[in-house]
Structure 1
Amino acid sequence: MSSPQFTLYSTEIGPNGWKVAMVLSELGLTYKTIFLDFSKNEQKGPEFTKLNPNGRIPALIDHANNDFVLWESNAIIEYICEKYDKERKLSFADFDNQNFTRQWLYFQASGQGPYYGQAVWFMKHPNGEPPSVVERYQNETRRVLKVLESVLSKQEWLVGGKLSVADIAFLQWNTSADRIILGPEFMDKETPHVRKWMNAMIARPAIKKVMEERAKLLSG
């Protein structure tokens, strides 16, 4: 058996590595995952920071491209698509849809990820902050979901009438909204088209496989 093409550095808990895994899985690209132990601060150790000086996951090594190393999840996703999605399964050949995809990836990185991440942090690690702190990030989570709902109520996918990395980038953080930040009731009642969109992704075999792997690790 040949060695996997990619090495993905991730963590069992955080969503960002898993969205990269979903893209690799959907494109049928082979990879092995190294899960860093955040309780031991492995992401800040010299072995990893020589790959990513920011000390955050994910990082990806492409062994088929001279062990090319890249970090930041959405930059990784764009790289994978530009270099390996030749059939445009998750990306687009036309200039306009390429930029619409980039628009959503930037919104996910600047809007969804930071706000959801702060919400989870303050809810899981309370340290005497006033209730307004958690409320702020819960409200920002609601706002992001409403933005998605406003678009998905009119179309099935975010870009170009098909599943793309623009959609996949949002999925894992949205499961955090369900599990931790807001509970499933908000999405069920207030953003039903977001729920339908998420379910359509989760039902895909390649994505389902990755989500089941994550669920197994978290339950263990």
Structure 2
Amino acid sequence: MAEIKPIKVWLTPSGPNPWKVILVLEELSIPYEMESFPFPDVKKESYLTINPNGRVPAINDPNTGITLWESGAIILYLVEQYDKEGKLTYESLRRKNEERQWLMFQVSGQGPYFGQAGWFTVLHAEKIPSAISRYTNEVRRILGVLDGHLAKTGTGYLVGDKLTYADLVFVPYNDRVDALTGMSKEEVFGGYENVVKWHEKMLARESWKKSMEVRARLMDEQGLQWNGMPKGVNNMEEYMALLKKG
């Protein structure tokens, strides 16, 4: 088999979505190189030619010549192209579609609702109690769906009895649930024992530990807080004012 050339990954280190892709690359031992850049650059023409939606991540695979954006599409591509041994996937029709089902739930449910919780709780200059309450409750609802399913399977995984990409894609957002809601993880995860055990098992994986070490370094290089804001900036209003000055 020909040697695999490194896949290029464009990312801003603060957001959760790129790290879903990095986790899959790490788990499958696919060589990759990161193009890390500041968040405002996602709207620059140089990046819009890669992803016209101006979001991260995006990848270019020199082995196939394919450029893709949207984390869900990227992950499906990676496992279909490179997981020939089924490390993160099943071959059966049932399991394969269950994996896709949970991926769709992550990109349409967990990601957007957790993101909105973070926006109204942390980033939005005006605190709107009804919005904060709505999205904090949605975070708990999503966790309830996951917890109920994990209790039903009894295997410690979302699909079948082994780790799949369906498990991995939930980790980056779950790991920031305290910062996104302004509550402790114990408060947010309270009552969801199956989610807690599952999440802790994901955090113990070397792929996660390595990814977060890299993220911490990239964040520090850009002078960023956990939420992507420069150190000393507390909300989006201050951030926009800073951008105008720059």
TM-score normalised by structure 1 residue count: 0.92
Report the Cα offset of residue 129 of structure 1: 4.3
Give the structure 2 partner of residue 168 of structure 1. 168
Give the structure 2 partner of residue 45 of structure 1. 44
What letter corresponds to residue 85 of structure 1 in structure 2?
D
Give the structure 2 partner of residue 83 of structure 1. 81
Residues 129, 205 of structure 1: alpha-carbon distance in 2 compared, 3 angstrom cutoff: closer
Report the Cα offset of residue 192 of structure 1: 1.8
Equivalent residue for 2:125, pick from 115, 124, 127: 127
CA distance in 2, matches of 1:31, 1:23: 11
Q: Which structure's CA Rg is the greater one?
A: 2
Give the structure 1 partner of residue 28 of structure 2. 27
Report the Cα offset of residue 127 of structure 1: 2.7
8 A contact 2:60–2:68 mirrored in 1: yes
Q: Indicate yes or no: 2:98 matched with 1:97.
A: no
SS at match of 1:21: helix
SS at match of 1:86: coil
8 A contact 1:52–1:59 mirrored in 2: yes
Give the structure 2 partner of residue 143 of structure 1. 141
CA distance in 2, matches of 1:219, 1:202: 21
SS at match of 1:64: coil
Show CA shifts across 1:136-193 (max 9, x none).
Answer: 1100000001111111123210002111110001000001213331421124532121
Residues 219, 190 of structure 1: alpha-carbon distance in 2 compared, 3 angstrom cutoff: farther
8 A contact 1:145–1:191 mirrored in 2: yes
CA distance in 1, matches of 2:78, 2:72: 10
8 A contact 2:36–2:218 mirrored in 1: no
> How many positions carry a matched residue from both structures?
216
Show CA shifts across 1:84-110 (max 9, x none).
Answer: 000010011111111101110111011
Show CA shifts across 1:14-62 (max 9, x none).
Answer: 0000110000000000111111211xx2001111111111000010110
**Is the deviation greater in 11-20 or in 207-216?**
207-216
What letter corresponds to residue 18 of structure 2 in structure 1?
G
CA distance in 2, matches of 1:118, 1:152: 25
Identity %: 43
Unaligned runs of at least 5 residues, structure 2: 222-246
8 A contact 1:187–1:194 mirrored in 2: no
Residues 79, 3 of structure 1: alpha-carbon distance in 2 compared, 3 angstrom cutoff: closer
TM-score normalised by structure 2 residue count: 0.83
Give the structure 1 partner of residue 68 of structure 2. 70
Report the Cα offset of residue 207 of structure 1: 2.3
What letter corresponds to residue 53 of structure 2 in structure 1?
N
Give the structure 1 partner of residue 180 of structure 2. 180
CA distance in 1, matches of 2:196, 2:204: 12
Give the structure 1 partner of residue 17 of structure 2. 16
SS at match of 1:28: coil
